[in-house]
Structures are given as structure tokens and as C-alpha cells.
Amino acid sequence: SYVLNQPPSLSVAPGQTATITCGGNDIGSKLVHWSQQRPGQAPILVVYDDFDRPSGIPERFSGANSGNAATLTISRVEAGDEADYYCQVWDLETAHVVFGGGTKLTVL
């Protein structure tokens, strides 16, 4: 089965840039979506189709995808960005949706 690897945690100071990676075999050939889950809340979509942003999501959130890694970059990090972030793809071979294990972003 297809596996997505994310670092369990990342700490960043306010105003700095956070880059969260999502590794998977030839993930660059798939569409990657990212969701944010703040403590005690349901997830929300923050980046879809590798790099597009839903309406209402700040331009500080950006995505990229190539080769064996996709990335979610959050520029000028704010306290409100503290959350768990999950990458997601569709595995055509198994017809399954696959989530990464999640990355807990801590704003120092």
C-alpha cells in the first residue's frame, strides 16, 4: 500500500517560515492536498491540487510537489497557525485515499 511520510513535529518562531514535507514514492505524479486541524476542531482544507488555495486561505500558505516529496510552506508564521497538518493523495492502484501521519506545528 502507498505510504506518505511526514515529520511528526516542527517548531518555528513567529514571523519565520515553516516548511512541512510529505514524502512518497513518485508523489510528484499525484495530486496532493493539505488540511489543517487546530486543537479540538475539525480539519479544513488549506492547499489543494499541489499548490492551489481555497478562498479565505491566506497567501502565506503555499504548496509544491515534485519527485518524491511534496511541501507545504507557511510564510510569516503566526500563533494561529499552530495546528496539525496532513497531506493527502489518492492511490489509484488500491483505490484508497491515503493520509500522511500528520505534522504538529508549534509556534514558539
Partner 1 sequence: EVQLVESGGGLVKPGGSLRLSCAASGFSFGNYSINWVRQSPGKGLEWVSSIDSGSRYIYYADSVKGRFIISRDNARNSVSLQLNRLRVEDTAIYYCVGCITGEGGYFDPWGQGTLVTVSS
Verify binding: residue 45, partner 1, rule CB under 8 A.
Answer: yes
- DSSP annotation of 13: -
Is residue 58 near partner 1 by the rule CB under 8 A?
A: no
Residue type, 92: L
Q: Shortest gap between Cβ of 55 and partner 1 (angstroms)?
A: 10
How far, in Å, CA of 70 to CA of 62, rounded?
A: 11
**CA–CA separation, 37 and 50 (whole Å):** 18
- Per CB under 8 A, residues contacting partner 1 are 1, 30-31, 33, 35, 37, 42-45, 48-49, 54, 84, 86, 88-90, 92, 95-102
